[in-house]
Amino acid sequence: MFKRENTRQFNIGNVKIGGSAPVSVQSMTNTKTADINATVNQIERLTEAGCEIVRVTVPDMQSAEALKEIKRRIKIPLVADIHFDYRLALESIKNGVDKIRLNPGNIGDAERVKAVVKAAKERNIPIRIGVNSGSVERELLEKYDGPTPGAVVESAERHIKILQDNGFENIVVSLKMSDVVNTIEAYRLFSEKWDIPLHVGVTESGTVKTGSIKSAVGIGSVLSQGIGNTIRVSLTGDPVEEVIVARQILKSLKLMPVGVNIVSCPTCGRTNVDLPSLAEKIEKALSTCEKNITVAVMGCAVNGPGEAREADYGVACGKGDGLLFKKGKTVKKVKENEIVRELLLMIDND
Ligand code: SF4
């Protein structure tokens, strides 16, 4: 079976991608890139949530010019998303981006491709070829009878060949489809043939709720086969949600070296506190905690203590109160409205 470690490795800014590097989390801003303050603010929020690489759209020269200042003000690698206009790619590279996303088959004649490749080589930055079901060339749609996984893979291969013919190998590929099953198949097909690092995602996956589920199934299935080096969850909503979901996918598969695992019960007739709100508050407060811990948030004094004792930290709630646990031992009983604060304090001080 394909193993992600078998891919080539290179840097996107200070983040390693491919080979034995951890799977990294990406997101994309939804501000107007030319609005530097709004874009930097959003990138700061994304960074705080755990985003490791950020992509911004570059639809015009004003946006490409804004990249210089954006790059100066942010801490994580910056990727410029370019469609069609090679001049935007050149300006973005000049302004210090760490990677560009561009399909070389879409930017026109060979001289333009050469110019972009030359600039990317000089700065030693990778190019991501981003193919999706909507970008497949007409001949391939006819050959495969639609945007099938095979069509998407062959489309990516066309773009790869253009870069390789220009002596460029610093390539990342994504093969995003809105259909989850096809997405999984496309990544599998591609990884059987290539050692190119893969950026994994399900495109246009939907609103926060639906999209998170589709992404968890799609990205999770691909990653669990040993495929994929960096991921982006696409959601219609605040991109910070994308990062939270992406990190959760990685944690679930034990692909994230640090993090908090929250265990909470589904609640039942025995629950006498507002457990969903407690669990959510605790999860949110610990979303950027870098300790490797399991925290149990349990709804009753019958089955709760067992799980809370098993975890590193836990609470088993009673009637309007909760019993706190640390490393298997009872610590103290606190009122319902003190549970979150006391549990967090206990974790912080440990
Ligand atoms: S831990 Fe208690 S409250 Fe939660 S589901 Fe189990 S029995 Fe119900």
Q: pLDDT digit string (tens) for 84-125?
A: 899 999 999 999 999 999 999 888 888 999 999 999 999 999
Q: Which residue has the tokens 């598969």?
A: 253
Question: Which two tokens mark 306?
Answer: 């067992």
275 within 8 A of 299, measured Cβ to Cβ:
yes
- Lining ligand 1 with CB less than 6 A are 265-268, 270-271, 298-300, 302-304
Please state the separation of Cα 248 from the chain's center in Å. Answer: 10
Look up the CATH number of the domain holding residue 310: 3.30.413.10
First to last CA, the chain: 42
Mean pLDDT of 176-195: 93
Last residue of a domain, one of 194, 223, 252: 252
DSSP helix/strand/coil, 260: strand
pLDDT digits (tens, 9 = 90+) for 259-290: 788 999 999 999 999 999 999 999 999 987 88
Taking the centre of ligand 1 as the mean of its atom positions, its distance from the CA of residue 260, in whole angstroms, is 21
Do 236 and 128 lie in one domain? The reply is yes
114, 166 contact by CB (below 8 A): yes
Distance CA 256, CA 248 (A): 9
Q: Report CA(300)–ligand 1 centroid distance (Å).
A: 5
Q: Whose CA is nearest to atom 5 of ligand 1?
A: 267
Q: How is residue 290 annotated by DSSP?
A: -
188 and 321 share a domain? no
Q: Of 228, 252, 276, which marks where a domain is finished?
A: 252
| Whole-prediction pTM | 0.83
- Give ∠ CA 76-130-170 in degrees, rounded to 5: 65
Q: Are residues 331 and 290 in the same domain?
A: yes
DSSP 3-state of 337: helix
Q: Determine the distance separating the centroid of ligand 1 and the alpha carbon of 242, expressed in angstroms.
A: 30
Handedness of CA 276, 277, 281, 284 (dihedral sign): positive
pLDDT above 80: residue 204: no
C-alpha–C-alpha distance, residues 150 and 186, integer Å: 7
Strands 260-264 and 293-298: parallel
Mean pLDDT along residues 26-35: 97
Name residue, tokens 């259909």. Answer: 179
**Which atom of ligand 1 is nearest the CA belonging to 266?**
5
| CA 268 to ligand 1 center in whole angstroms | 6
Å from CA of 261 to ligand 1 middle: 19
CB atoms closer than 10 angstroms to residue 46: 25
Which atom of ligand 1 has the smallest separation from the CA of 269?
Answer: 8
Task: Point out the ligand 1 atom lying closest to the alpha carbon of residue 316.
Answer: 1
Nearest-angstrom CA–CA distance, 169 and 165: 10
Closest-lying ligand 1 atom to the alpha carbon of residue 307: 1
Instruction: Give the C-alpha separation, 288 to 348, whole Å.
Output: 12
- Domain span at residue 199? 4-252
Q: Residues 98, 192: one domain?
A: yes
Same domain? For 301 and 270 the reply is yes
Q: Do residues 228 and 118 both lie within one domain?
A: yes
- 235 within 8 A of 219, measured Cβ to Cβ: no
Q: Which of 236, 252, 268 is the last residue of a domain?
A: 252
For the CA of 301, the closest atom of ligand 1 is 2
Q: Atom 3, ligand 1: which residue's CA is nearest?
A: 299
Ligand 1 atom nearest residue 304's Cα: 1
Residues 237 and 267 in one domain: no
pLDDT confidence of residue 1: 40
Do 166 and 301 belong to one domain? no
Task: Indicate if 160 and 57 belong to the same structural domain.
Answer: yes
Q: Are residues 95 and 114 in the same domain?
A: yes
Question: Is the predicted pLDDT of residue 202 greater than 70, yes or no?
Answer: yes
Distance between CA atoms of residues 31 and 61, nearest Å? 16
Query: Residue with the nearest Cα to atom 6 of ligand 1?
Result: 303
* DSSP character string of 205-222: --BHHHHHHHHHHHHHHH
Say how many domains are in the chain.
2
* Helix or strand run (H / E) with residue 322: strand 321-326
CA of 338 to the centre of ligand 1 (A): 20
Q: Per residue in 305-315, pLDDT tens? A: 999 999 999 99
Bigger pLDDT: 2 or 56?
56
Q: Which CATH number goes with the domain that contains 243?
A: 3.20.20.20
Per-residue pLDDT at 226 exceeds 70 = yes
3-state secondary structure of 255: coil
Same structural domain for residues 245 and 277?
no
Does pLDDT of 197 surpass 90? yes
- H helix count then E strand count, the chain: 12, 15
Residues 284, 238 share a domain: no
How far does the centroid of ligand 1 lie from the alpha carbon of residue 44, in Å? 38
Cβ partners under 8 Å of residue 29, min gap 6? 39, 42, 43, 46, 54, 55, 56, 57, 239
